[in-house]
Amino acid sequence: MEILVSPGPDDTASRAAEVVLAGLRRPGGHASVLGLATGSSPLGLYRELGRAVAEGRADFSTTYGVALDEYVGLPPGHPEGYRQVLLREVCGVIGLAPERLEVPDGSATDADALEAAAAAYEARIAELGGVDVQVLGIGANGHLGFNEPGSALASRTRVKRLSARTRRDNARFFTGLDDVPTHCLTQGLGTILAARRLVLVATGDAKAEAVAAALEGPLTASVPASVLQWHPDTVVCLDEAAAAGLRNRQYYDDSAAGLPGT
């Protein structure tokens, strides 16, 4: 794991954008695949990617965007459905073509249809050649995507029940807690681990405890984000507040400084 700590959220976002761009360069002209997270954590990163496009340093016009998750049971076009959120917060900002945005289809309400939608999503990711760089945020309870504590470490895309904590955290996007869906379709932890690079962005002191547990605690389903420790190319971009609970901080800073003379 590479753990990069920046003074504040803005520097964290620009550092994360460079890490994402470096990971997306695919040899052979194959269209790159960017894994997209919702939530407030990656918004600054998307803004920085948009800036890179404006400056001619990046071009996402042929890139595929692959969402981590989607609510189950929201009517199509609901403004808080993750397809709509990603159209607004990513496609519109970085110039990713809406027809190249892949989101699990959570519109069904019966178990068989949802299971089929989950399998179709896994097949679509495979058809695209896998995810080059997966952007991630972390839930205050350590969730990744919507893989709540207790999620199998090798899980693939499937239906999950949202925890009470996650529904409360996300109630701010709805008119009230009762309107927050109870279930979702989410890439599994095994699906996420199959991406070639993982980039976690976390800022603010509300994330410090989850970040410390994920990066320095045991690898456990109780802290789904601890699977980041298992991946050979994980880059974690934090600000000082989110890094406040890390014990081995000095080592991470020394490592980020690179080889002597470089």
DSSP assignment, residue 122?
H
Q: Which of 12, 14, 38, 151 binds ligand GLP (CB under 6 A)?
A: 38
Give the integer Cα–Cα distance in Å for 75 and 134.
27
Q: Which residue, 26 or 244, is less far from ligand GLP as judged by CB?
A: 244
Residues 154-213 that bind ligand GLP (CB under 6 A): 166, 170
Rounded distance between C-alpha atoms, residue 192 and residue 207, angstroms: 20
68 binds ligand GLP (CB under 6 A): yes
In the complex, the smallest distance separating the C-beta of residue 196 from ligand GLP, rounded to whole angstroms, is 19
Burial of 135 (0-12, 13-18, 19+ CB in 10 A): buried
Burial, 140: exposed, middle or buried (Cβ in 10 Å; 0-12, 13-18, 19+)?
A: middle
Q: How would you list the strands of the sheet with 158-161, edge to edge?
A: 69-71, 183-186, 158-161
Select the span of 35-43, 103-111, 210-218, 235-243 touching ligand GLP (CB under 6 A).
Answer: 35-43
Number of residues engaging ligand GLP in binding (CB under 6 A) = 14
d(CA 140, CA 208): 9
Question: Rounded to the nearest whole angstrom, what is the least distance from the CB of residue 28 to ligand GLP in the complex?
Answer: 30
Which residue, 6 or 41, is less far from ligand GLP as judged by CB?
Answer: 41
Q: Considering the rule CB under 6 A, would residue 41 count as an interface residue with ligand GLP?
A: yes
Residues forming contacts to ligand GLP in the complex (CB under 6 A) are 37-41, 68-69, 137-139, 145-146, 166, 170
